[in-house]
Structure 1
Amino acid sequence: MATELPETMQGQFLENYNQPYQLRTVPLPKPSHPDDVLIKVDAASYCHTDYVLAQGQMPGFPKSFPHVGCHEFAGTVVSLSDRPSTEAACFNAGARVGVTGRAYHACRECFECQGSKDPIAEDEKGYSVHCTRAENNGISKDGGFAEYAVVDARQLAPIPDELSATETAPLMCAGITIYAALKRCQLQRGDRVAIMGAGGGLGHLGLQYATKMGFKVLGVDAADEPLKLAKSLETGAHIVDARSEKAAKIVQQIGAEDGKRDLEEKGVDAVIILPESQAAFDYGMTLLKSHRKCVIVSFPEAGFHISSRDIVFRDISIIGSLVGSNRMLREMLNFSAEHGVRAVAKSFPLSSLNGLVEDYHKGGGGKLVIDMALDK
């Protein structure tokens, strides 16, 4: 028997840049495209990109105001369009799903959708998270800071029984992003990886994933609360305070532990850059062995200054990483369920989204999540 839906819903709307969110009642959205799925949002996680967007630092986005943010959320399938696609028909009412922001209504036809051969982001032919013609929930179109949302079935991943909605939501951006970045490092068990910004939303998940993958992990941060959080996880990672421990000294310590004599073979096999700080980038590059890989996830407005000597004389490869494919999203969720990877999170009701944002600016590390059940 079909569930009777309300005619309206509540959502938190950005009315303009640099403004607090406004709680408003609006008509319930309806699925109209074959790939559309209407979900009841159960949890919505706040990301640094939500802050960047609200500050007007992503030119052209959102496309219009008022706007509902959040591109990492989880919910329950409510209904499909009248003519569902094959992908949408796979989801029945009541199914619990995780939703990433990318890529709503991927075109099925462009170079990316036809298969760009990226082993990390490549999906089945006809869909790509890199489709330049696609919309993005929470960025170019409305997202998860509302009671209901229309999403693309091809964005969705079934939630394993072991995970709740509030546990799943942070994994839909932070989780898949750091998981994919670790995959791009192309490491073997026993290799060393450094995570710059280890106590942040992505970083503290990265510590858990990396150690569960069998890597030797160095977690680096430069703020008291994130460092405290990173140490509290007890992952076995070596946690470093960049304010008091020089990168060159860490390299020597690692070299001694590994029994290496030459400077070029001392250090870590890969480094992941999460902060937008040039100092964090420089620290991470110093940690790297020659011929190894630096994976950049952050995108500061001014970019990073990169030394040509590192690239030419040390043969360091520098690559970027955005998100993973839907296939990898599902892999990440199952990995998280199996190995007990969870975000350290603090929950707020939808009505207190502005309070969540205030908490975000305190820089405590971990993730902040809207739990829709708290408004009931």
Structure 2
Amino acid sequence: MSLEDLPKKMKAVQVVEFDKPYRINEVDVPSTLQPTDLLVKVAVASNCHTDSMVQHGVFGSKLPQTASHEGAGTVVAVGGDDAAKRGFKIGDRVMCGLPLHPCGKCHDCTGPESQTQYCMNLDPGHVGVHTDGCFAEYVKVDSRSTTPLPDEVSFLSAAPLACAGRTIWRGVLQANLEKGQWLAIVGSGGGLGHLGIQFAKALGLQVIGVDARDEGLSLTKENGADIIIDARKGKESAVEEVEAVTKGMGADATLCISDAQSAAGLACALTKMHGLMVQIAQPDNVVIPFPELIFRDIRIHGSLVCSAEESRSMLRCIAEHGITVKTNVFYGLDKIHDLVDMVHGGKIQGKAVIVVDEEQIEHEKKIGAKL
């Protein structure tokens, strides 16, 4: 199939004004591909916290902007030799990449593989943030950041993994712990957190899950956290509970994936002296009381999404250990407003996704996609 054989128009969910509801528009199907590009027929697209930031104009996105940077689907066109040399071909099932057109020249692009995703010279930017995203029938992505799917992993799981999965997997890797050590996760009962618990357990870690919602605590328990802490009881109580199971030391490392104002400070308080706190959540300001930072020598490390090889290792882990993604499924792009109502209702467990193309979902069942 060539680009000429594809439809010229498609349905897309777009931000047309900041701080206004999404609008469903008819737009052009991407018709120009660079040698590194892939055109993907979207099967499933997912909502992420970053989508609300795009809606509020945090990233200064050029409008109209097709939403969602979490997508999965089937390759229907390959831009050129660069993408083909990476092994991509028409018909491949993929998890869409986020960075679109890194420069390939900066210190991040030419440095260690694990930091290539930090290129600051992307042109045009990140899919669904600076350029059109996955809440559409087709999306243009970069082969350098797009990941082939193992047969075991379904589109329904792969879409939220495209950002949430990649983000929390890298956070777990950045904690750099050995089997048997303690990892605390502040915000453990959300879309990232429930994956983080499963990833950590698959790597042989002991997990302390911390959340402040009944739904979040329930999902934390469901996904196998060894210790479950209700943050609503306060910092002192949480610290006592952690020290009780860690011989008075505290967690060996902590991931902060809650953007509550007190979350980063709590994450540091739960971490042992000289330990590491990995900050993943993106509040306006990361607030940490100076005694936690200075008197206890807590190291703070920021972390973003996975690199290409880290993304592949995540999918291998999922396929090997049977890790599952909690999804709330809506059928059709016209259900976007129902999805938004659920996301902002405060009761959601896991991730909210839209099935864009049911035919692809039916097809992948024949190859054994079960996770």
Fold agreement, TM-score > 0.5: yes
Question: Kindly tell me: are residues 20 and 251 of structure 1, through their superposed partners in 2, closer, same or farther at Cα, counting changes over 3 Å?
Answer: closer
SS of residue in 1 equivalent to 2:121: coil
Structure-2 residue corresponding to 1:100: 97
Question: Kindly tell me: are residues 256 and 79 of structure 1, through their superposed partners in 2, closer, same or farther at Cα, counting changes over 3 Å?
Answer: closer
Q: Quick check: 1:170–1:369 contact (8 Å CA) kept in 2?
A: yes
Structure-2 residue corresponding to 1:71: 69
Structure-2 residue corresponding to 1:173: 163
1:36-78 alpha-carbon deviations (Å, 9 max, x no partner) = 11110111110000011102233x2x1x211101111101000
Q: Quick check: 1:39–1:151 contact (8 Å CA) kept in 2?
A: yes
Residue 256 of structure 1, CA deviation: 4.2
Q: 2:228 aligns with which of 239, 246, 264?
A: 239
> How far apart in 2 are the matches of 1:355 and 1:253?
39
SS of residue in 1 equivalent to 2:19: coil
Q: 2:236 aligns with which of 244, 248, 257?
A: 248
Structure-2 residue corresponding to 1:207: 197
Structure-2 residue corresponding to 1:19: 20
Structure-2 residue corresponding to 1:295: 278
1:49 pairs with 2:50: yes
1:157-199 alpha-carbon deviations (Å, 9 max, x no partner) = 0001011111111111111101101111111111101101111
SS of residue in 2 equivalent to 1:133: coil
Q: Quick check: 1:211–1:237 contact (8 Å CA) kept in 2?
A: no
> How far apart in 1 are the matches of 2:78 and 2:207?
44
Q: Quick check: 1:311–1:317 contact (8 Å CA) kept in 2?
A: yes
1:198 pairs with 2:192: no
1:143 pairs with 2:143: no
Question: Kindly tell me: are residues 174 and 28 of structure 1, through their superposed partners in 2, closer, same or farther at Cα, counting changes over 3 Å?
Answer: same
Letter in 2 for 1:283: L
Q: Quick check: 1:79–1:93 contact (8 Å CA) kept in 2?
A: yes
Q: Quick check: 1:30–1:150 contact (8 Å CA) kept in 2?
A: no
> How far apart in 1 are the matches of 2:191 and 2:261?
19
Residue 100 of structure 1, CA deviation: 2.9
Letter in 2 for 1:129: Q
> How far apart in 1 are the matches of 2:66 and 2:148?
23
Question: Kindly tell me: are residues 221 and 236 of structure 1, through their superposed partners in 2, closer, same or farther at Cα, counting changes over 3 Å?
Answer: closer
Residue 213 of structure 1, CA deviation: 1.2
Question: Kindly tell me: are residues 286 and 296 of structure 1, through their superposed partners in 2, closer, same or farther at Cα, counting changes over 3 Å?
Answer: same
Question: Kindly tell me: are residues 253 and 200 of structure 1, through their superposed partners in 2, closer, same or farther at Cα, counting changes over 3 Å?
Answer: closer
1:10 pairs with 2:11: yes
Residue 89 of structure 1, CA deviation: 5.8
> How far apart in 2 are the matches of 1:242 and 1:275?
11
1:305-360 alpha-carbon deviations (Å, 9 max, x no partner) = 22333233211101101111110001001111111112100111211112111110
Question: Kindly tell me: are residues 255 and 309 of structure 1, through their superposed partners in 2, closer, same or farther at Cα, counting changes over 3 Å?
Answer: closer
Q: Quick check: 1:11–1:68 contact (8 Å CA) kept in 2?
A: yes
> How far apart in 2 are the matches of 1:194 and 1:17?
36
SS of residue in 2 equivalent to 1:129: helix
Letter in 2 for 1:85: D
Residue 2 of structure 1, CA deviation: 6.0
Structure-2 residue corresponding to 1:109: 105
Superposition map of 1:335-354 within 5 A: 335-348=317-330, 349-354=332-337
Structure-2 residue corresponding to 1:333: 315
Q: Quick check: 1:195–1:220 contact (8 Å CA) kept in 2?
A: yes
Q: Quick check: 1:350–1:375 contact (8 Å CA) kept in 2?
A: no
> How far apart in 1 are the matches of 2:121 and 2:244?
51
Q: Quick check: 2:15–2:65 contact (8 Å CA) kept in 1?
A: yes
Q: Quick check: 1:35–1:88 contact (8 Å CA) kept in 2?
A: no
Residue 129 of structure 1, CA deviation: 1.1
> How far apart in 2 are the matches of 1:318 and 1:65?
35
Structure-2 residue corresponding to 1:125: none
User: Once superposed, which parts of structure 1, at least 4 consecutive aligned residues long, lie more than 4 Å away?
Assistant: 86-89
> How far apart in 2 are the matches of 1:74 and 1:114?
27
Structure-2 residue corresponding to 1:317: 299
Question: Kindly tell me: are residues 284 and 374 of structure 1, through their superposed partners in 2, closer, same or farther at Cα, counting changes over 3 Å?
Answer: same
Question: Kindly tell me: are residues 210 and 21 of structure 1, through their superposed partners in 2, closer, same or farther at Cα, counting changes over 3 Å?
Answer: same
Long gaps (5+) in structure 1: 123-127
SS of residue in 2 equivalent to 1:355: helix
> How far apart in 2 are the matches of 1:25 and 1:88?
33
1:265-297 alpha-carbon deviations (Å, 9 max, x no partner) = 521111111111122222222211101011100
Question: Kindly tell me: are residues 6 and 307 of structure 1, through their superposed partners in 2, closer, same or farther at Cα, counting changes over 3 Å?
Answer: same
1:306 pairs with 2:306: no
Question: Kindly tell me: are residues 86 and 72 of structure 1, through their superposed partners in 2, closer, same or farther at Cα, counting changes over 3 Å?
Answer: closer
SS of residue in 1 equivalent to 2:316: helix
Structure-2 residue corresponding to 1:37: 38
More moved, 274-283 vs 248-257: 248-257
> How far apart in 2 are the matches of 1:66 and 1:137?
13
> How far apart in 1 are the matches of 2:6 and 2:326?
33
> How far apart in 1 are the matches of 2:185 and 2:243?
18
